[in-house]
Every structure is written in C-alpha cells, then in structure tokens.
Amino acid sequence: MKTLTDEETRVILAETGLDAPCNAAFALRKVTEPVAYGWHEHPYHQIIYARKGTTQVEGRDGVHLLPAGHAVWISAHVPHRTMIRDLDGVSLFFRVSQGNEKSGRIEIFPVTPVLREMVFYALRWPGGEREECPIAAVFFRTLLLLVREQCDAVRAGNFVLPRARHSGLVRAMDAARADPGSVGLDAVLRVAGMSERSFRRHFREETGMSWQHWITQARLFHAAILLGQGERVTYVAAEAGYASMSAFAKSFTRVIGLAPLQYQKRSRGMDEEPPPGGGESS
C-alpha cells in the first residue's frame, strides 16, 4: 500500500482544486489502488460512495469503516485521513452554504438503489454545478437532501471504533488494533498500566462502549478488510479470533449487515451490475 505524508496529501488537494471552493457541487469517479492519505481537511463537504473495495476513514472521534454499498459523509473542515483498498466509487463535493452547515462529523450510511443511480448520474456534469446549468443545480441540491435524510435515518455506531483520550486507553487501543484477533484482556491491561476495574470504567466513560463491544468491533473491521482482499472466509474467521465459523458469521452479519461471503462478493464487485460510465479521478 502506498502511504502519503500529510504534505503529499495537501499537494494532491491543491492539484485537484479541493483546497479552494469554486463550483457549488461536483462529482469525481474514483478508481484507486491501495493508498493511505495523510491527515487533511478541505472546505467542501465530501461524500465517498464505495461500489466495491473497503475503506477506512479516521477522524478525531475514531476509525470509521466504509463497506462496499455504503457511503461516508465527511463534513467540511473536519480533519481526517483515509486508507483505501482497491476503491471503485464516486466522490461528491458540496460547498458549505446556508442549509447544509451540518456540524463537523463523519457518518457512514447505506446507499439505496435510487441514491446509487443518482450518485453515478452526477458524473454527467464533469465540471459540476454551474450557473448556466440550472438542472445540475437542482439535481445536486436534491441529491444532498436525500443523503442528509438517509444519514438522519440510520442508527449510528456499527461502523465506528471510538477513540479515547486517556493515554493508557490509547496505548491499549493501538495494541489491540495491531493484532485484534489474538490480543487478550490481560495483555491490554499491561499495556495500559491499569487495573481491570479502572480500565473498564474509564473505557466506557470515554467511548460509550464496553471493552468487549469495542474489541469485537475491531475484530470485525479487521475481518472486513481481509474479506475485501479476497482471503478465504475460514482463514478470516481464525484471524479475527473466532474458533467457530457459525459464531463468526453470526457476529459479522449482525454488525456489518451482510453474511461474510456476501460481503466479500460485494467488496470485490461480483454481485451487482456494472456502474454507469463516467470520468475518473486519481
């Protein structure tokens, strides 16, 4: 995977015009190899729709998993960094204006069939919304309203690993994410330098989750990435720390919304019609 520094990421923003708003809204087709962007922000609200591939968006509040068939809303001026694995999708950008000043958040939401068609139809206007094209202006505003409606309707939480501020918890989380399938509570407590009682109390206070809920989520995020890379489901289950295939499938389906094999097919673009044509961006 290619890893870009924060400065290299800012250069890309400048080259693509994302550092200074011009058009009110526009869309870019994105087909990329695995790449990790550095910390950055931009003056546009951004929506990334993943037709296939698996992406993680890290913000100050935690790490968000973007599964295939979903999209992520990133509010303008929210610092974030993105790790993309073989993404095929579309990025939409909206200039901040009265009525869409959504407070700084990162949100994952499922894309309905209607929204999917609209996302790709937005590529009809490579230059985005312009004054001489009133149809484009109405279209982009309608698309934005439907996206906000979808975000407001979904239950948050399934696709985010919250971040903590306590230094001991941060060390524990970093260690757990490095090897989520094998790490145990005793090892985590040693890294954190905390008693079990103190660890569990501070963890829930800072993340709103129990430790068991968080590590289960971390293991399933890890599993989603491996499935997106084409690894065998039995191997993925073991790597995620599950001794039973049925337990893994049940847990994965409950959190991600698809059975492991279904998720893998979607992530690799094997279970849907090809997208409409459109321009690409790097």
Predicted confidence (pLDDT) per residue in 29-61, tens digit: 877 778 999 999 999 999 999 888 889 999 988
Q: pLDDT band at residue 280, thresholds of 50, 70 and 90?
A: very low
Among 118-122, 147-151, 187-191, 267-271, the minimum mean pLDDT is found in 267-271
Q: What's the N-to-C CA distance of the chain in angstroms?
A: 15
| Residue 278 pLDDT greater than 60, yes or no | no
| Residue 263 pLDDT greater than 70, yes or no | yes
**Residue 110 has what pLDDT?**
87
Q: Phi/psi at 46 (nearest 5 deg)?
A: -125, 140
**Residues contacting 151, CB < 8 A, separation 6+:** 73, 107, 109
| Residue 223 pLDDT greater than 80, yes or no | yes
Q: pLDDT band at residue 156, thresholds of 50, 70 and 90?
A: low
**Residues contacting 116, CB < 8 A, separation 6+:** 49, 51
What is the set of domains in the chain, with CATH numbers?
2-153 (2.60.120.280), 163-256 (1.10.10.60)
Q: pLDDT band at residue 240, thresholds of 50, 70 and 90?
A: very high
Whether the CB-CB separation of 191 and 170 falls below 8 Å is answered with no
Summarised one tens digit per residue, pLDDT across range 91-146 is: 999 988 765 565 678 999 989 899 999 999 999 887 777 666 788 889 999 999 99
**Residue 98 has what pLDDT?**
60
Q: What percent of the chain has pLDDT over 70?
A: 90
Paired residues of 92 in beta bridges: 27, 47
Full-prediction pTM beyond 0.75? yes
